Structure 1
Amino acid sequence: MSHGPDWTDRAAGGTSPAPDAFETQVLALLPSLRRYSRSLTRSDIDGEDLLQDCVEKVLMRRGQWRGLNLRGWVLTIMTNLYRNGLRQRGGRTFVDLDDSTDLPSPEIDADPLERSRLEIALNTLPEENRAVLMLIVVEGYSYQDVATMLDIPIGTVMSRLSRARKRLSDLMNSDNVVTLRRPK
């Protein structure tokens, strides 16, 4: 009597050995998938839901993977799940900044106000620009990889990245202006 997939049955003549390289590779991707899902949803809770939905879909559709660039394939699935969820909800959702304080990042001896300003600036970016920025700057993908993942032309990737960087720069520098009076 079987209640689910039995790894020993698969290893004894099924489709793959237990536990196989595919699942090991998916497990290795979890930290970057978690970062990306949180950057898309702007929420720890919604990010975890998106991550779980993505992993479930990836495991169910493992037969569709052709053995090339697993990370890109999985991120494409996550992006499409996120877009489909937005369409179903009819638009954007916003999260209170207090809900996003548990983002995984190394603690550095930086100005906490500066970090807060960066979070605010990132959350004000349009989602398509933020997704491109996160994939290229944080995850280290090439322009071509991001274009393939998001199913957009490479020129669009470059322009979205440029707009995201410009907007971040403007937002981060806007509060740093100190007006000085000339001595009389």
Structure 2
Amino acid sequence: MDIDAAIAHIPRLRRYARALMGDAARADDLVQDTLERACQKWAQWRPPDAASADQVQAALRGWLLTLMHNLFANQWRQAAHQRTVGWDETLASGHDPTPDMGLRLDLERALTLLAPQAREVLLLVGMEQYSYAETARMLDIPIGTVMSRLARAREQLRRLMEGETPPRASLKAVK
């Protein structure tokens, strides 16, 4: 098997990245970074022993999503260190671009308001249809953590979709 096998997974990687990032351009960058990392680390990937072609593809998809998760987590941590008080003026100031419309938050905006860890679990289990065990393996966390993050994410998403205002994040200045 060669790196060309990863090409079949690009649509799924893009879908997951778009939901994770909430922005098409940043999502495409994340997919590209993931594929670059896969090319660099290709020698480290081992397909399961005595596996069918479908099982090999599923394992490859899981490996690629794990790479994507790790890249996303690293980028998120870097951004957290670089944020300043004026970081996101629309969220920090409580600015609502649709004050008179009274519309509920749409799903895409609600997803972007979830914590990245909650959004990852929700997307892997809900959108990508991975089991709790597969999700735990990809994110390198215990199954119990997957279940608790998923429950909290679903509850927060439900409240956001019902129009509840998200809690304001306390921002601290970084020197």
Regarding TM over 0.5, the answer is yes
Q: 1:78 to 1:25 in 2, by over 3 A?
A: same
More displaced stretch, 150-159 vs 62-71: 62-71
Aligned partners of 1:162, 1:154: CA distance in 2, in Å? 12
Aligned partners of 1:22, 1:40: CA distance in 2, in Å? 27
For the 8 Å contact 2:17–2:27, the answer to whether it is kept is: yes
Q: Deviations over 1:2-48 (max 9, x none)?
A: xxxxxxxxxxxxxxxxxxx4334311111111122222222111111
Gaps of 5+ in 1: 1-20, 97-112, 176-184
Aligned partners of 1:149, 1:140: CA distance in 2, in Å? 13
Q: 1:91 to 1:33 in 2, by over 3 A?
A: farther
User: What is the Cα deviation at residue 129 of structure 1?
Assistant: 0.5
User: Which of residues 47, 53, 58 is equivalent to 2:27?
Assistant: 47
Determine the structure 1 residue equivalent to 2:37.
57
Aligned partners of 1:95, 1:147: CA distance in 2, in Å? 34
Aligned partners of 1:144, 1:24: CA distance in 2, in Å? 27
**Is 1:38 aligned to residue 18 of structure 2?**
yes
Q: Deviations over 1:35-68 (max 9, x none)?
A: 2222222211111111111101101211100113
Determine the structure 2 residue equivalent to 1:148.
137
User: Which of residues 109, 122, 129 is equivalent to 1:133?
Assistant: 122
Report 1 or 2 for greater relative contact order, CA contacts < 8 Å, sequence distance ≥ 6: 2
**Is 1:159 aligned to residue 148 of structure 2?**
yes
For the 8 Å contact 1:43–1:95, the answer to whether it is kept is: no
User: Which of residues 142, 157, 160 is equivalent to 1:168?
Assistant: 157
Larger CA Rg, structure 1 vs 2 = 1
Determine the structure 2 residue equivalent to 1:84.
74
Letter in 1 for 2:113: T
Count of residues in correspondence between the two structures: 138
For the 8 Å contact 2:22–2:112, the answer to whether it is kept is: yes
Q: Deviations over 1:79-104 (max 9, x none)?
A: 111111222232678698xxxxxxxx
Q: Deviations over 1:146-183 (max 9, x none)?
A: 101111100000011111111111222347xxxxxxxx
Aligned partners of 1:87, 1:168: CA distance in 2, in Å? 23
Gaps of 5+ in 2: 49-58, 91-102, 165-175
**Is 1:118 aligned to residue 107 of structure 2?**
yes
Aligned residues: CA RMSD:
2.3
For the 8 Å contact 1:42–1:95, the answer to whether it is kept is: no
Using the size of structure 1 for normalisation, the TM-score is: 0.67
Q: 1:137 to 1:52 in 2, by over 3 A?
A: same
Task: Determine what percentage of the aligned residue pairs are the same residue.
Answer: 46
